[in-house]
Amino acid sequence: MKLIGPFKQVVTLANLPLRGKLSDEQLEIIVDGGILINENTIQKIGNFETLKSENQNIEIEYVEDEQIVLPAFVDSHTHICFGGNRANDFAMRNAGKTYLEIAESGGGIWSSVQHTRSASEEDLLKTLLERIDFLISLGITTIEVKSGYGLDVENELKMLRMIKKAQEQTKATLVPTCLSAHLKPRDFSGSNEDYLNYILTEILPKVKEENLAKRVDIFIEKSAFQPEESKVFLRKTKDLGFEITVHADQFTPGSSRIAVEVGAKSADHLEATIDEDIEFLAQSETVATALPGASLGLGEKFTPARKLLDAGAIVAIASDWNPGSAPMGNLITQASILATFEKLTTAEVLAGMTFRSAFGLGLEDRGQLKSGLKADFVTYKTNNFQNVLYNQGSLKADSVYIDGAKI
């Protein structure tokens, strides 16, 4: 056992509901608190001095200066395994071309596919690990990572194998997701339906065999896969035993409804979701994930997080870090900005980046500071936790702990 502290404030996020709006008065803040660790889990949270006197003769890790501590963050939607860069797309969009126009002219996702296919395994792994380290430095210790820039058996497996290799080299938890249904690749001769069947028969069985991912994602959009074919595909992936997540309602509405109907763990994007579908999401267990990084990258509107929370949805916030629509990768900055535009409370933002996003990944062992949960947390040199969002990402994390150990 080990006691860490004293912290000026321990913001536990414990006892907050999984869904719906939150007020900041609901936050549990323990002043002069400590965290008692047993191996890799939290044994107890409480007043530091009390914990110290209750547990004589245990190791004490004293915290220097005034610090506050939060549960570590969970980024439940990223595409950080990729080759190349799309700075030119960014410049073209800012000069007036749309995301879809750039995609149609050979830029967009397809250009990242070409760079990812031609990248060596070493380079792909190296840049992936660099991005993971950047996220860890922000206090993010659980990271979902999608394939989706390979788009054939060889290259989708290459990506997923590199994600698996990266997991062997990082203490962060990686959650791999197979996004072979990102786009029908230009060199596939056949219809969308043929390509989706190719994923079902050629890619997913191998993903299963090598235990490379337990989740499947699809981009349902006019420029990618259509609602009906996607629904059939998702039902079949479910029959194969995969969990589902969906890129839904990014530019056109309708697909979040499909995500709910097929029982997806999450429906992500939702910038274009209509009021009726907000209600539908709110009645479901499907997590509604806002991706403010994509709104900032594309200059599009934000996910209606306020309306979703008011309707009672489970709202997560993730970075969508990818080379095209969301190149920034700083979830803390993005979530702070979303809060300003959508009028979200600090509690709603923190919940959206911790236990609510963890729920969407099927990980209910983290995201709050309470006994029995994974001892992942992040500390900041400040005496007020509100400074984390107030500084919009420029207040750097001081220490990041994974399984109770500082990394």
The interface partner of residue 346, options being Fe ion, ligand NIG, none and the CB cut-off 5 to 8 Å by kind, is none
Closest CA to 176 of 160, 158, 194: 160
Q: Which stretch binds Fe ion (CB under 5 A): 62-70, 319-327, 331-339, 391-399?
A: 319-327
State the helix-helix crossing angle for 108-118 and 153-169, rounded to 10 degrees. Answer: 70
Shortest distance in whole angstroms from residue 300 CB to Fe ion = 13
155 binds, among Fe ion, ligand NIG, none (CB under 5 to 8 A by kind): none
CA–CA dist 146, 49 (Å, integer): 44
Find which of ligand NIG, Fe ion, none residue 356 binds, CB within 5 to 8 Å per kind: none
Alpha helices in 247-322 (DSSP H): 255-261, 275-282, 292-298, 305-311
333 binds, among ligand NIG, Fe ion, none (CB under 5 to 8 A by kind): none
Helix (H, G, I), strand (E, B) or coil at 225: strand
Cα angle 166, 85, 126; round to 5: 20
Owner of token pair 């595409």: 79
Options 54-62, 123-131, 236-244, 317-325: segment touching Fe ion (CB under 5 A): 317-325
Q: In the bound complex, what is the minimum distance in angstroms from residue 322's beta carbon to ligand NIG?
A: 4
Residue nearest to Fe ion (CB): 320
Asked if residues 150 and 117 have their Cβ atoms less than 8 Å apart, the reply is yes
Name the binder of 324 from ligand NIG, Fe ion, none, CB < 5-8 A by kind.
ligand NIG
Minimum CB–partner distance for residue 377 and ligand NIG (Å): 28
Q: How far is the CB of 315 from Fe ion (least distance, A)?
A: 17
Contacts of 321 (CB under 8 A, 6+ apart): 75, 78, 79, 80, 131, 135, 293, 327, 328, 329
Residue ranges binding ligand NIG (CB under 6 A): 79, 108-109, 112, 219, 247, 250, 294, 320, 322-326
Span from 121-129, 255-263, 315-323, 378-386 in contact with Fe ion (CB under 5 A): 315-323
> Binding to Fe ion by residue 217, rule CB under 5 A?
no
Cα Rg, the chain, nearest whole Å: 21
Q: Count Cα neighbours of 258 within 13 Å in the Cβ-side half-sphere.
A: 27
**Residue 68 exposure: Cα atoms within 13 Å on the Cβ side:** 17
At residue 99's C-alpha, the angle toward residues 95 and 101, to 5°, is: 85
Please give the Cα distance from 93 to 64 (Å, whole number): 46
Binds 250: which of ligand NIG, Fe ion, none (CB < 5-8 Å by kind):
ligand NIG
Q: Residue 250 or 368: which CB sits closer to ligand NIG?
A: 250
CB of 112 to ligand NIG, least distance (A): 5
Choose the one of Fe ion, ligand NIG, none that binds residue 173, judging by a C-beta under 5 to 8 angstroms depending on kind. none
Stretch that binds Fe ion, among 88-96, 114-122, 201-209, 318-326 (CB under 5 A): 318-326
Residues, the chain: 407
Residues 6+ apart with CB under 8 A from 342: 290, 302, 303, 304, 305, 306
**Cα distance between residue 372 and residue 366, in whole Å:** 9
Out of 144, 249, 320, 398, the residue judged to bind Fe ion by CB under 5 A? 320
CB of 325 to Fe ion, least distance (A): 7
Least distance from ligand NIG to the Cβ atom of residue 56, Å: 52
Tokens of 342: 């959508």
Stretch that binds Fe ion, among 3-11, 17-25, 160-168, 312-320 (CB under 5 A): 312-320
Q: Which is nearer to ligand NIG, 63 or 287 (CB)?
A: 287
Which residues here bind Fe ion, judged by CB under 5 A? Answer: 320
